[in-house]
Amino acid sequence: MRKTLSFLVALSLVGATAAAQAPAPKPEQVIGYRQSLFKTVAWNFVPMGAMVKGSKPWDGVEFKRRSIAVAFAAVQLEEAFTAGSDKGAVTDALPEIWQQPQDFTTKLKAFQRTSNALRLAAAGGDQDRIKAAFGEVRQACSNCHDKFRAE
């Protein structure tokens, strides 16, 4: 009985340790995660751009929903460029991301700030404000791609 108890206690300790030290995601998992986030960003950003351009009818409810998705992904991207995830799978992320982390972080923060501003503008519903805010986000995409993404 005593033996069984101490075995059970030992087992639960093993469980607790395993939970506390969940293995870090592998580089290929991080790369897959980040590419799926960018796919989510583009999935939503492209139809928003079509509405801004007028090639797709304006739908304020849809625009608002998509702006939330983009702002959400922008925040999630913070976990998607961990050390060591510069390789391990096919990736267009350039080594400069890890060599100049401050500049990269500045550009990621700009994306978070502008996409959050777009989300707030979309919630407000003023089309002129929304279109201006959309332009700011698109600029944040290019600013980062120009330096940190391979063609």
Report yes or no: 146 and 95 within 8 Å, Cβ to Cβ.
no
Give dist(CA 134, CA 121) in Å, integer. Answer: 9
Q: From the CB of 110, what's the least distance to ligand HEC, in Å?
A: 7
Which CB, 75 or 129, lies closer to ligand HEC? 75
Which residues between 61 and 120 bind ligand HEC (CB under 6 A)?
A: 91-93, 107-108, 111
Q: Which of 100, 65, 79 is nearest to 29 (CA)?
A: 79
Q: Which tokens hold the place of 140?
A: 């944040």
Does residue 48 belong to the site contacting ligand HEC (CB under 6 A)?
no
Q: From the CB of 124, what's the least distance to ligand HEC, in Å?
A: 20
Q: What angle do CA 122, 126, 128 make, to 5 degrees?
A: 105
Please give the single-letter amino acid code of residue 12.
Answer: S
Cα distances (Å, whole numbers) of residue 89 to 28, 84, 114, 140: 5, 11, 30, 26
Does residue 52 belong to the site contacting ligand HEC (CB under 6 A)?
no
Binding ligand HEC (rule: CB under 6 A), the pick from 45, 51, 116, 134 is 45
Please give the single-letter amino acid code of residue 16.
Answer: A
Q: From the CB of 83, what's the least distance to ligand HEC, in Å?
A: 14
Q: Which tokens hold the place of 75?
A: 């925040």
Which CB, 12 or 142, lies closer to ligand HEC? 142
Binding ligand HEC (rule: CB under 6 A), the pick from 35, 40, 82, 127 is 35
Does residue 140 belong to the site contacting ligand HEC (CB under 6 A)?
yes
Q: Which residues bind ligand HEC (CB under 6 A)?
A: 31, 34-35, 38-39, 41-42, 45, 91-93, 107-108, 111, 137, 140-141, 144-145, 148-149
